[in-house]
């Protein structure tokens, strides 16, 4: 057979353009994040916007959640879906929250249950109304949050916040600093809806020591409560009895917020970290101990993408895209995880996690907990009260230590 004849019988090569669209879409979820899918679409004539939209939705579905429809007035579907996916990643569903004296739980039907001990000065802590000051086992609330399902909760020493599937926010407990957001400083004996958010769809909440934060679906951050140290981010120290939008973050698409005792942290869609409030122990991460009354970007994270943050009482934690954990602020009891008790004025990577990929972290008053991609849980910091979960070992842990009693799947 001649070379020419053989060439005619050889099937032509298959080009990428010849592949079915549904197969091309399946290639895209292999990217690490929706942002990577968007970048592929931006530089490729093949992976155009419509493929990117389907790819991002498939990426989300394979991780167990659906992304919302394009809102009216939003002109770029890829941009909106990327932002929605980042919101979902940065604000995982918190079905339980621990305060100093109480705990809040969400059951499978979106109803709230609480247990704990309400002090005399804060009889509304448990949310069950008059006469209920102690519950040794989780007890379901008599109120139903207006018939809406709770999807996330946040609790601290004095008050609690609950977020519903419909985007409304409910609060209860001590209101002495205005942190309940109802326009007064009264104790709230049962969960009450924050009416100031009417017309807003809130996607995340965080309760601080004397203040509260909320993140709306449009990326705006709202704060209210005690204003000392500038923790509300409004450029002053005034308390706010009603939620007030932080105008200094206008133009930023914030994807996560976290409130500490006297400082606050936010992460934007580009992975930048902003902090404000009390900086006395270096917890703001700006290399000094100055107070910041307006949000200020943490320059130490330039060139890195932060995907999660948590504000402890006087320290802060962050996880970067590669799964590394960083800490800064007050180092007493080893809460920063660096093997010592020194304060850190700038974010510092916790080298004890080298070789592991962390997916979640939570900062407490004097200790922290982190979960790695393989399902292991680590705790470090003050161990006196047994809060580290290391059994009979109540010593302080200067380095992260695996909780052996908590195995993957438990």
Q: How many domains does the chain have?
A: 2
**How far apart are alpha carbons 356 and 351 in whole angstroms?**
10
Q: What confidence tens digit (pLDDT) does each residue in 132-152 have?
A: 999 999 999 988 899 999 999
Question: What is 177-232 written as a DSSP string?
Answer: TSTT-SSS---EEEEEE-GGGTT--EEEEEE-SSEEEEEETTS-EEEEE--GGGTT
Query: How is residue 292 written in tokens?
Result: 């910041």
pLDDT of residue 225: 98
Last residue of a domain, one of 89, 105, 128: 89
Rg (C-alpha) for the chain, rounded Å, is 24
What's 16's DSSP letter? G
The alpha carbon of residue 38 and the mean position of all alpha carbons in its chain are separated, in whole angstroms, by 23
Residue 212 falls within a domain, yes or no? no
Residue with tokens 């609950």: 162
Better pLDDT: 2 or 266: 266
Q: Does 396 map to a domain?
A: yes
Question: Is residue 255 within 8 Å of 83, Cβ to Cβ?
Answer: yes
Residue 8 clears pLDDT 70, i.e. is over it? no
Angstrom distances, CA of residue 269 to CA of 33, 85, 99, 154? 12, 10, 29, 22
pTM equals 0.84
Residue 14 has pLDDT above 70, yes or no: no
Domain-terminating residue out of 71, 89, 107 = 89
Residue 14 burial (10 A CB sphere; 0-12, 13-18, 19+): exposed
What's residue 406's pLDDT? 62
The domain in which residue 379 lies consists of 252-410
Write down the mean pLDDT value for the chain. Answer: 90
Contact 212, 202 (CB under 8 A): no
Residue 190 belongs to a domain: no
pLDDT in tens, 391-409: 889 899 999 999 887 654 4
**Least confident interval from 263-272, 290-299, 358-367:** 358-367
What are the CB-based long-range contacts (under 8 Å, 24+) for 135-141? 138/103, 138/105, 138/113, 138/114, 139/113, 139/114, 139/115, 140/107, 140/111, 140/112, 140/113, 141/111, 141/112, 141/113, 141/114, 141/190, 141/191
Answer yes or no: is 118 within a domain.
no
Q: At what angle do helices 49-61 and 34-43 cross, to 10 degrees?
A: 160
In a domain, 221, yes or no: no
Assess if residue 157 is contained within a domain: no
Which pLDDT does position 373 carry in this prediction? 87
Of 58, 89, 120, which residue constitutes the final position of a domain? 89
DSSP string, 83-102: HHHHHHHHS----EEE-SSE
The per-type count for the chain, helices as H runs and strands as E runs, is 5, 24
Q: For residue 314, give every residue at least 6 positions away whose Cβ sits within 8 Å of its Cβ, in sequence order, or none.
A: 260, 261, 262, 280, 281, 283, 329, 330
Q: Starting from the edge strand earliest in sequence, which strands make up the sheet with 397-402, in order?
A: 358-363, 367-372, 377-381, 397-402
Residue 273 lies in a domain: yes
Tokens of 348: 């510092």
Residue 242 banded pLDDT, cuts 50, 70, 90: very high
> Which residues make beta-bridge pairs with 48?
none
Does the residue 238 lie in any domain?
no
Please list, residue by residue across 165-188, b when 16 or more beta carbons sit within 10 angstroms of its beta carbon and e when fewer do: eebbbbbbbbbbbbbbbbbeeebb
- Of the chain, the end-to-end C-alpha distance in Å amounts to 68
The pLDDT, as a whole number, for residue 93 is 67
Q: 15-50 burial, b if ≥16 CB within 10 A, otherwise e?
A: eeeeeeeeebbebbbebebbbebbebbeeeeebeee
Q: Which one has a higher pLDDT value, 376 or 168?
A: 168
The CATH number of whichever domain residue 362 belongs to comes to: 2.130.10.30
């Amino acid at each position: 057979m001649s070379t020419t004849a053989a060439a005619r019988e050889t099937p032509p090569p298959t080009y990428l353009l010849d592949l079915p669209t549904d197969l091309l879409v399946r290639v895209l979820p292999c990217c690490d994040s929706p942002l990577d899918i968007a970048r592929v679409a931006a530089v490729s004539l093949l992976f155009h916007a419509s493929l990117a939209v389907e790819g991002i939705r498939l990426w989300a579905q394979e991780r167990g959640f659906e992304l919302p429809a394009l809102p009216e007035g939003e002109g770029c579907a890829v941009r909106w879906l990327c932002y929605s996916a980042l919101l979902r990643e940065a604000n995982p569903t918190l079905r339980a929250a621990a305060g100093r004296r109480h705990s809040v739980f969400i059951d499978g039907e979106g109803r709230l249950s609480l247990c704990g001990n309400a002090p005399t000065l804060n009889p509304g802590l448990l949310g069950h109304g008059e006469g209920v000051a102690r519950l040794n086992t989780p007890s379901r609330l008599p109120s139903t949050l207006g018939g809406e399902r709770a999807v996330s909760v946040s609790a601290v020493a004095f008050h609690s916040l609950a977020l519903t599937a419909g985007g409304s926010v409910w609060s209860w407990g001590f209101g002495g600093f205005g942190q309940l957001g109802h326009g007064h400083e009264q104790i709230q004996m049962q969960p009450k809806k924050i009416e100031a958010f009417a017309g807003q769809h809130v996607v995340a909440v965080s309760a601080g020591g004397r203040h509260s934060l909320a993140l709306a679906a449009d990326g705006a951050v709202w704060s209210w409560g005690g204003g000392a140290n500038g923790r509300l981010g409004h450029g002053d120290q005034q308390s706010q009895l009603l939620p007030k939008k932080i105008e200094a973050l206008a133009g930023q698409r914030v994807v996560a917020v976290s409130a500490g005792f006297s400082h606050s942290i936010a992460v934007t869609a580009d992975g930048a970290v902003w902090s404000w409030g009390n900086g006395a122990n270096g917890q703001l991460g700006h290399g000094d101990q100055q107070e910041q009354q307006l949000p200020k970007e943490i320059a130490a994270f330039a060139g890195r993408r932060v995907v999660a943050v948590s504000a402890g009482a006087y320290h802060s934690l962050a996880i970067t895209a590669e799964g590394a954990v960083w800490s800064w602020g007050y180092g007493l009891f080893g809460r920063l995880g660096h093997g010592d008790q020194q304060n850190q004025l700038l974010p510092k990577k916790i080298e004890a996690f080298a070789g592991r990929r962390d997916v979640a972290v939570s900062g407490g008053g004097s200790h922290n907990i982190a979960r790695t991609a393989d399902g292991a849980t680590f705790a470090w910091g003050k161990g006196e009260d047994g809060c580290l979960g290391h059994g009979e070992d109540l010593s302080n842990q200067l380095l992260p230590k695996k909780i052996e009693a908590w195995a993957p799947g438990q």
